[in-house]
Structure 1
Amino acid sequence: MAGPDLNQLTWFQIVAEERSFTKAAARIGVAQSTLSHAIRQLETRLGIRLLTRTTRSVAPTAAGERLLQTIMPRLAEIEQEIESLTSMRDRPAGSIRLTLSDHALDSVVWPKLKPVLAAYPEIKVELILDSTFRNIVEERFDAGVRLGESVEKDMIAVRIGPDWRLVAVASPGYLAERGRPVHPKDLVAHTCINMRHESAGSLYAWEFEKDGQALRVRVDGQVAFNNSYAMIDAAVSGLGIAYVPEDIVAANLASGRLELVLDDWSPTFDGYFLYYPSRRQNLAAFQIIVDALRDRTA
């Protein structure tokens, strides 16, 4: 048998407070007959009389008083929580969970996010760093950050950063010893620093393009990472050629610790996008994060 619903319990409490079906019905905004029927249904479901009715007043029975003592604090708690949730629609507060790569965090997200967190101390952000393609709905993420080409078509996508290049780099010492590749196919004869895509479970096939010709090269080497910064350190240490985002290797190129190879074959990739399932019912805090990250350089 189905238990009493929340409306019946709430209406019972109001009748007990008002000591009158007429006043309670006016307070709730329903017909008195509707209210009386709901209370009778509640008593029938519980199998016990909750109210003593006279021609002049209504009063809770002993069982009714016991039920009131049980439900009143819980109904008040529910009401307070609903008010709190409702206020979060308009007040920038709450927790936001994002999944993104280390490069996306450092190059785009974190520089834009820091001033937002300072300005809105009631906004909490959890940033999960990985290179996998998470199911943000099943894993309860509010949004994810990935390259534009990787975002599923049924997601809302907001560009948050410019397009960028992957570039092949190696230390001067490595190039002096092993020579400089002039074509992507030359990489099969070199020691390369691999990147493993956790979601695919395989090593990344390096993507190149020149004059409309696209190539994918599977390389081999002594080490593999799932982190671009570790790949850069390995390249600086002379362990091989790495294929990494150009912006995070710029300082090493400027200092001469690393050198570009196959520069004319390095393609441009879609920049990072913030993606999420729906525009409906997003908290004010989430909208502030979206607006702060949005790319406005175009």
Structure 2
Amino acid sequence: MKMPIDIEKLLQWAIRDELPKGQRVAASSWDVIEQFGMLGTKVQTSGFHADTFGTVPGEPDEDALVIAGAVKALEREARFDHLADVQSLFGEWAAIAGDAPGLLLMSTFDPAALVISCATQGTRPKWAFETPTPRQQFAQTATKPRPIVHGIDRSGEVIEIRPIRKTGKYPVTMRPRSPLLWHDPAPLHVGECRAEWVCWHGALNALAAALFGKLRAYEPTPTTLPLMPWITGMDEPRILQGRDLSAVSAFDPRLAPVRNIATPEPVSSPIEAQTAASYAKASRQKMKNAKAA
């Protein structure tokens, strides 16, 4: 019976653990994919099977060779067709994206390279960022930088305006405003990284579909990661820091809280201690008077 396995883990096993076997130690992951994926079989080279210095010992698993061929068959260029799809990459920062969506609409991405790079390093494309920081834009002059201010002319066009020479102020009728430059990170960088996440995510599912029923020991399952975690969110596992609870018996008495029942409740202040002592003394005196009567 074939073992179900997440496509991301399957790729890491094939590219990191299996395909380097028999290859030069210095060979890149893409070189390995090229050799195995080009002919769909092992490429016989000098010293391929030799466990000598400079090569990785052993031979790759048969399933890893099939995976290499599927990765090699992935498309090398992917792009976005609609501006709305690109704008969704910015999520909560769409209002400050500026011209970044238009630039990304003309960009191309390499799903095959993303899959190989992430599997080799055991990472995923970055998608979470700190909030960008606004910065006023300035134009360089012969004396000192001049702030860039935009306004709206009579035809409704946005133009750069200068302050009135006599007053040093900008004409209010043109609704002056200073455009901001967002950085650390720049919106374009955020969009590029999230575009890589979307391409990588699609490539994983494409590989899971292409490899279904083709492997000897494994049955790949599509990734359960969200397509756009910056919008839908992504559940993170709870990690307990410090003590390794997996190495402790559930019946370890040291895990139980220790309380001394005979110990009285602590007193929070000297005033409360004095008051408690007075009440106790009065109670004892009252009991003595009752016995005497």
- Fold in common (TM above 0.5): no
Bin for the TM-score computed over the shorter chain? under 0.3
Structure with bigger gyration radius: 2
User: TM-score under structure 2 normalisation?
Assistant: 0.21
Q: Flag the structure with higher strand content.
A: 1
